[in-house]
Amino acid sequence: MHELHLYGRYFDLVAAGRKTIEVRVKYPRLAGLVAGDVIRFRIKGTEETVDVRVTRVGEYPSFEALLDGEGPENVNPTASRAQQLAQIREIHGPEKEALGVLAIGIELPVP
């Protein structure tokens, strides 16, 4: 099981099954993530968690390419593509984006 932190606004979308693509920087610790793995998302500083199953992992050279390839409605159905790009880049600076980015397909529930 992998444990990752999420901001509350994204956690709620995952828990409701509305967010089906999680965006992450391609850090080495995520290199082994594959379909069938379980991720436990936690709101940082709380005990609130939700478990999801990884359906697939896609790699992209940039956040823009990821949003174009995956569809922004799958990443965050409550924000426009431009809003999402700005929010993602606010969280992850250009030096992190340069590492490559992952589109992690997720689904509920985990039995």
How many DSSP H helices and E strands does the chain contain?
5, 5
Say how far apart CA 43 and CA 10 lie, in whole Å.
Answer: 9
What are 35-77's pLDDT values in tens digits?
Answer: 999 999 999 889 999 999 999 999 999 999 999 999 999 999 9
What are 4-40's pLDDT values in tens digits?
Answer: 999 999 999 999 999 999 999 999 999 899 999 999 9
Q: What's the pTM?
A: 0.94
Band (111; pLDDT cuts 50, 70, 90): low
Q: Which structural domain range is residue 62 located in? A: 2-107
In 1-111, which ranges are E strands? 2-6, 21-25, 38-43, 49-60, 101-107
Q: What is the CATH number of the domain that holds 87?
A: 2.30.130.30
Residue 44: predicted pLDDT = 85
Count of domains for the chain: 1
User: Contact at 8 Å (CB) between 88 and 63?
Assistant: yes
